[in-house]
């Protein structure tokens, strides 16, 4: 299946708030088709350009570049906003986490199984959002590689390598904060699971799920926390969209752009470092 078709399936499978933030692949392909195929030869007898010789951009090429740069700006705005939301959400989740786990990893005074399970579920949902954002970055980068490869085949202007070098410096490709959040969330999730397992073992040994210090008032508060979580219907819809998006992503794993997502960029970067040293 062609990349464009797979990419469209992924967009259709995502949440509406995210689907508009993918690369406008079809729009760029239309711009690309408007660019006349370059077949003329230069004075040196081939399609290359002599040192110092400048290419004159056609109106169609300018439109393609303008559209491509607009897409990058769209990526950056969306990613920066999403990253800020993730940081704020992580702060709230940390507060809930500290209700059941002390900084030394022991159970907090307010620990209850209900609170622990609710925090575990919230972290799992948050982790899913973070991973999907990571895939959003990878998919959009892959789409950029594909459309630039098509452009370079059609046009006399080679954009792929220099443009991708620029992409590596863009905010949407800087995923250090995202990676840190994923690592922290996974660590907390494992800790909560361990506490749930140990508490279950204690309950089995004592013949009771809760010990004597858990009051009915705390149970009522815990039940309110559970009711406040996402509804079953919303969770089911979110999971179905995530599953569909992940299936499409798995179908792209054999793509050359995913195996070598940076294309020829590493070679170009090595050459630049060699010249500067």
The total of other beta-carbon atoms located within 10 Å of residue 2's CB is 8
> Which secondary structure element, helix H or strand E, spans residue 248, and what is its range?
helix 232-251
Q: Is 15 a member of any domain?
A: yes
Q: Is 191 a member of any domain?
A: yes
Q: Is 128 a member of any domain?
A: yes
Mean pLDDT of the residues in the chain: 77
Distance separating alpha carbons of residues 221 and 231, to the nearest angstrom: 18
Distance separating alpha carbons of residues 5 and 83, to the nearest angstrom: 29
Q: Is 224 a member of any domain?
A: no
Q: Is 211 a member of any domain?
A: no
Answer yes or no: are the C-beta atoms of 196 and 188 closer than 8 Å.
no
State the Cα angle at 275 between 271 and 277, rounded to 5°: 115
Q: Is the dihedral of CA 261, 159, 40, 25 positive or negative?
A: positive
State the average pLDDT over residues 251-277: 52
Report pTM.
0.74
Q: Is 265 a member of any domain?
A: no
State the average pLDDT over residues 244-259: 57
Supply the range of the domain harboring residue 196: 9-37+57-203+235-250
Q: Is 209 a member of any domain?
A: no
Q: Is the pLDDT of residue 162 over 70?
A: yes
Q: Is 46 a member of any domain?
A: no
Tokens of 213: 């210090």
Instruction: Of 81-95, 109-123, 126-140, 196-210, give the range with the top mean pLDDT.
Output: 81-95
Task: Give me the number of domains the chain comprises.
Answer: 1
């Amino acid at each position: 299946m062609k990349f464009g078709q797979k990419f469209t399936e992924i967009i259709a499978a995502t949440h509406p708030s995210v689907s508009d933030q993918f690369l406008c692949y079809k729009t760029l392909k239309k711009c690309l088709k408007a660019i006349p195929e370059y077949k003329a030869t230069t004075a040196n007898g081939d399609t290359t350009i002599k040192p110092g010789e400048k290419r004159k951009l056609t109106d169609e090429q300018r439109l393609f570049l303008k559209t491509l740069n607009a897409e990058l700006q769209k990526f950056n705005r969306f990613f920066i906003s999403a990253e800020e939301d993730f940081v704020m959400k992580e702060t709230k989740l940390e507060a809930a986490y500290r209700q059941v786990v002390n900084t030394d990893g022991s159970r907090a005074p307010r620990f209850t199984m209900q609170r622990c399970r609710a925090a575990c579920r919230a972290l799992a949902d948050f982790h899913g959002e973070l991973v999907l954002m990571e895939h959003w970055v990878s998919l959009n980068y892959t789409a950029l590689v594909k459309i630039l490869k098509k452009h370079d085949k059609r046009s006399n202007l080679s954009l792929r390598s220099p443009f991708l070098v620029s992409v590596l410096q863009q905010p949407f490709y800087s995923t250090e904060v995202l990676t840190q959040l994923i690592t922290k969330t996974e660590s907390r999730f494992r800790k909560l699971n361990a506490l749930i397992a140990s508490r279950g073992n204690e309950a089995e040994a004592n013949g009771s799920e809760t010990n004597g210090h858990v009051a009915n008032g705390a149970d009522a508060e815990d039940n309110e926390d559970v009711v406040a979580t996402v509804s079953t219907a919303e969770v089911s819809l979110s999971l179905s969209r995530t599953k569909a998006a992940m299936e499409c992503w798995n179908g792209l794993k054999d793509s050359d752009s995913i195996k070598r997502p940076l294309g020829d960029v590493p070679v170009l970067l090595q050459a630049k470092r060699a010249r500067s040293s």
